[in-house]
Amino acid sequence: MTLQLANLDREGFLRLRSRLPAVTREHLFNVYAISETTWAKLRDGKPVKRSTLDRILRRYEALRVAA
């Protein structure tokens, strides 16, 4: 089984950032269920697991629709 990785472009990262009240451990976990390490990878344009990115994007979409 191969680990599937994916990147998020800068525009996508900025969209995610716009939904965070602040970049803190608590907000990252409460909003996207991710760690500061995962956030740093996204911020720096580094790949994360595809399943993690898919989960983050689903949560973002749910927040966007609810707003």
Q: Tell me which residue of 5, 1, 8 sits closest to 45, measured CA to CA.
A: 8
**Confidence at residue 1, expressed as pLDDT on a 0 to 100 scale:** 65
Domain that holds residue 10: 5-66
Cβ-based burial of 31 (10 A; exposed 0-12, middle 13-18, buried ≥19): middle
**Do 63 and 19 touch, CB atoms closer than 8 A?**
yes
Count how many domains the chain has. 1
* Whether residue 67 has pLDDT greater than 80: no
Q: State the CATH number of the domain containing residue 58.
A: 1.10.260
User: What was the pLDDT predicted at 41?
Assistant: 98
pLDDT digits (tens, 9 = 90+) for 23-58: 999 999 999 999 999 999 999 999 999 999 999 999
